[in-house]
Amino acid sequence: MSRIIACIGSGTMGLALMKGVARSKNFAYSIGFTDRDQAKAAAAAKAVSASVYASNIVAVSQGDFVFLAVKPQVLAGVLAEIAPMVKSRIDSGGSPLLISMAAGWSIKRIQEALGGPGSPVPGIIRIMPNTPALIGQGLIALAASPDIPEARICELKHILAGSGVVDPIEESYLDAVTALSGSGPAFVYLFIEALVDGGVRTGLPRDKALLYAIQTLLGSVGMIQETGKHLGELKDMVTSPGGTTIAGLAALETGAFRGIVMNAMEAAWKRSKELSSE
């Protein structure tokens, strides 16, 4: 059965997930975008052979799955705009499934914004994807309101599978997920950039330093996945007594490398929690 997937917002993450849908070979779908910037929506639609809706209300009126791919600061206005159409869909027995990726917006808060306590609301799912979803290598954490049938959750997981690994999780963990996998790619890029600069500092041409840094990271991740060994054991495999690696590790520890990374995670986690109260 063909499904209609409406994506409100055509930014990086919305487009990434819709590209994942388009990569699916065993799913009958049609995709539509809507955005305040119609030219941006048109460009996103062209990238995945999708359509463009005239408004958010039209998107909600047609979508079986409606992705709320807007920034947390914008979501309140979008919910207020679509609330009457959501109610109309519920009253007619054809409620869409709303999927939000706005950090800090709890399922309860979204439901209240759509109608308040006691009002009928559609099934709400929160997801936290990350940018590697653009190449089908993302991590999408998923938390669902308890009223959603398992069959619909499974269907959504199938829709998202083209974007990467889909992992169901309790909603209470999503702020931590935001800090780790949501913000984490930026931390990883900064680390790789530092490795490359270190290679240049020690005499390597920049293109060679970048090649070696990338392959070192890929190979190290592969070792974790393939061997199943503890991270400390893998580290020790590289670390010879009195050698180059232990000298470098000592420098990292002198600079409180692990503490800095954990502090970065905590700062991102705190900001995610702040967004829930703004």
Residue whose entry in the numeric block shows the structure tokens 């709890």:
106
* H or E element that contains 41: helix 38-47
Whether 220 has a pLDDT exceeding 90, the answer reads yes
pTM for this predicted structure:
0.87
76-116, pLDDT tens digit by residue?
999 999 999 999 998 888 888 999 999 889 999 999 898 86
Whether 23 has a pLDDT exceeding 90, the answer reads no
| Mean predicted confidence (pLDDT) in 236-244 | 95
Nearest to 191 by CA among 208, 174, 216, 222: 216
Token reading at 157: 């997981």
User: Cα–Cα distance between 57 and 83 in angstroms, integer?
Assistant: 9
Q: How crowded is residue 205: how many other Cβ atoms within 10 Å of its Cβ?
A: 10
- Predicted pLDDT of residue 25: 62
User: Cα–Cα distance between 161 and 17 in angstroms, integer?
Assistant: 9
Topology of domain 3-171, CATH:
Rossmann fold (3.40.50)
- Predicted pLDDT of residue 147: 86
CATH of domain 184-275: 1.10.3730.10
**51-52/3-8 β-pairing:** unpaired
**124-128/138-144 β-pairing:** antiparallel
How far are the Cα atoms of 17, 180, 212, 250, 252 from residue 194, in angstroms, in the given order? 30, 19, 13, 17, 12
What pLDDT band is residue 153 in, cutting at 50, 70 and 90?
very high
- Predicted pLDDT of residue 93: 84
Top pLDDT among 147 and 277 is at 147
| Mean predicted confidence (pLDDT) in 170-178 | 93
Nearest to 220 by CA among 242, 202, 196, 238: 238
Q: Where in the chain is the domain with CATH 3.40.50.720?
A: 3-171
**138-144/97-100 β-pairing:** unpaired
- Predicted pLDDT of residue 26: 56
- Predicted pLDDT of residue 267: 96
Nearest to 99 by CA among 118, 74, 125: 125
- Predicted pLDDT of residue 69: 94
Cβ partners under 8 Å of residue 42, min gap 6 = 52
Instruction: Tell me if 139 sits within 8 A of 165, measured CB to CB.
Output: yes
What pLDDT band is residue 120 in, cutting at 50, 70 and 90?
confident
- Predicted pLDDT of residue 221: 96
Whether 225 has a pLDDT exceeding 90, the answer reads yes
